[in-house]
Amino acid sequence: SDLVEEYVSDYDYILIDCPPSLGLLPINAFVACDSVLVPVQAEFHSAEGVGNLFKTIKKVTRKLNPDIKIEGILLTMYRSRTSLSKEINQMLNEAYGRNVKVFFNKIPHTIAVGKANREGMGIVQYDKNSVAAKAYKNFTEEFLAGDQYVPFVPIGSLKRSRYRECEDANPAILEPLIEQIKQEGIQHDVEVRDLYDGTFEVINGFAILNAAFLADVREIPIRICDVPDDDRLRAYVSKAE
């Protein structure tokens, strides 16, 4: 920690990269750091180790570094088309999501990352236009924005709540909102529940969704709400709008 202290004033952030273990190096890093970012590969063994990691951090907090905080969990090597990655995402959110941030952006599994490692280069330096480089950029924006971050998702990934009757997208009724969206963009996010399969269930903001569709908007700003079970979802939707 004394060594890191010498450089704190020179940088906005100092990253201490650690091996995926609970040995001496990570513990020393926990003592020296202000916060911990937890990258987790979208694999069961990696996800199962998160609990032990949090126990170790808790011990360090109690005995060595009381100011340490957990920034959140970042899913890496994520394959969006596989059921395993989706299950890991859901498992981490359900197990830790209420107490620890699970970042919306994920780092995909790509060949470009392996090639960059082979060349001894970072992915942005190797290919700044690659999917992985863009994913790291999006994650960085989310990390820096904190609670103010608003993700945008394709409009086709949004599904209507099964507890709300389908409303017709009547252009005449929605015309003022459609014109506002065309001129100013979408000013309010749509409340959704994450279905952990790349889609989201809309629970509030149906008028915005209908107007955005008619305005030919391709991406929608969303706010993910913690409504895990059907009874709570039914009650939440009944109060919406």
Segment 37-54 shows an average pLDDT of 94
Strand positions, DSSP E, 1-64: 35-41
Strand positions, DSSP E, 42-151: 69-76
pLDDT for the residue 21: 83
Confidence check: pLDDT of 166 > 60: no
pTM, two decimal places: 0.86
Segment 43-60 shows an average pLDDT of 93
Q: Is the dihedral of CA 80, 83, 85, 87 positive or negative?
A: positive
Confidence check: pLDDT of 225 > 70: yes
For residue 190, give the DSSP letter. E
pLDDT for the residue 167: 55
4 versus 93: the higher-pLDDT residue is: 93
Q: What is the mean pLDDT of the chain?
A: 89
Segment 25-43 shows an average pLDDT of 93
Confidence check: pLDDT of 30 > 60: yes
Confidence check: pLDDT of 146 > 60: yes
pLDDT for the residue 197: 87
Confidence check: pLDDT of 39 > 80: yes
Which single residue is written with the structure tokens 């017709």?
Answer: 168
- Give the least confident one: 44-58, 94-108, 168-182, 225-239: 225-239
Residue 77 φ/ψ region, left for φ over 0, alpha for ψ in the -120 to 50 degree band, beta for the rest: left
Confidence check: pLDDT of 138 > 60: yes
101 versus 169: the higher-pLDDT residue is: 101
Confidence check: pLDDT of 2 > 90: no
Find, among 129, 47, 49, 61, the residue nearest to 90 by Cα: 47
Number of other CB atoms surrounding residue 196 within 10 Å: 17
Confidence check: pLDDT of 87 > 90: yes
